[in-house]
Amino acid sequence: MKDDRLRSARSSARNFLQRFLCIVLLPGLLFVEIVAQQSNRQTNSSQKELLARLASSDEEQRLDAVLQMGAFLRDATDSAETPAITALSNALQQDSSPVVRALAARALELGAGNQFSDKIVPALIAALGKEREGAVRKAIIYALARYPQPQVTAVLIPLLDDKNSELRAAAAYALAESSDASATQPLIEALRKRGGDEDAFARSQAARGLGRIGDRDSINPLLEALTRDKSQEVRRDAATALGRIAARQDAKVIEALRNAALSNDPYLAAAADNAIASVNARNP
């Protein structure tokens, strides 16, 4: 009997972890696609029914309700979806389950592109300030990545110095998605941090963001990353970013890209070749 309870507890723990990791780690567009596939399999429920299920003591019922609320929000065209936003915002800030809170954050991503950002963004920012569970904060940051607005950038920049490496990486990713020029200097500083492997993803996203922003003040830091960073991932993203910013007259950049094109890493070599082609295409 005791062994059966132990196996059941372990199974529940594994399922909890799998759901949590899926919610937190999936990139934005892939998450949206999965929500669409799953919601299409659900029977349609009224918002009144879903609100009742959000109050259930059964976590699975609440998760399902959050998922369907997100689908409502994704397809919204008018203010009739305001109750869904309110319900998801309440779940994000008040639900006892970190899995439900994380899924509520990701579901609020689905309002991006609709006219509800003025309601969703403040809710996400407020939740980020209150939340203490690192994985839920990460989910909120991923959701904010879908809302490139000045107030979002202002909230994300300090997180580049967070003590949690995963939050630093998530913030760098979100800032790269926003392409906000005001994040240029913070991203340069993040790129120049020669930390260990735990910050490689943050540095690679900083490089990607600098390439998207396109400020020529980023060229030297990106050149340093291309030639000195120990992470091949960072070097690849630095090469790609330089291809978006540099010109033919940037001789040091062209030389570094040509050297990188001879790398034993085929992905770095390809990124460098593509970067050179991009520079040449812009400067015929």
CA-CA distance, 159 to 110, in Å (whole number)? Answer: 23
Residue of 279, 208, 199, 274 lying closest to 237 (CA atoms): 208
Q: For the chain, what are the domain ranges?
A: 1-147, 167-284
> Are 233 and 264 a contacting pair, CB within 8 Å?
no
Q: Is the pLDDT of residue 225 over 90?
A: yes
Class of domain 1-147: mainly alpha
Q: Average pLDDT over the chain, rounded to whole?
A: 84
283 token code pair: 């400067």
- For residue 197, the model assigns a pLDDT of 76
Residue 200's CB is within 10 A of a number of other CB atoms, namely: 18
> The whole model's pTM is what?
0.83
The conformation of residue 56, written as its DSSP 8-state character, comes to -
DSSP output for 189-256:
HHHH----GGGHHHHHHHHHHHHHH--GGGHHHHHHHHHH-S-HHHHHHHHHHHHHH--TT-HHHHHH
pLDDT tens-place string over residues 151-208: 999 999 999 999 999 999 999 999 999 999 999 999 999 999 866 678 999 999 999 9
| pLDDT (mean) for 45-53 | 78
Residue with tokens 């993040």: 190
Name the H helices within 55-164: 59-74, 82-94, 98-108, 117-130, 134-144, 150-156
- For residue 251, the model assigns a pLDDT of 95
Residue with tokens 């954050």: 105
CA-CA distance, 195 to 199, in Å (whole number)? Answer: 6
pLDDT tens-place string over residues 72-124: 777 766 655 678 888 899 999 999 999 899 989 988 988 776 677 888 999 99
Q: Is the pLDDT of residue 125 over 50?
A: yes
**For the chain, counts of helices (H) and of strands (E):** 16, 0
213 token code pair: 């922003």
Question: Can 1-147 and 167-284 be said to share one CATH topology?
Answer: yes
Residue of 266, 27, 242, 275 lying closest to 146 (CA atoms): 27
Q: Does domain 167-284 have CATH number 3.20.20.80?
A: no
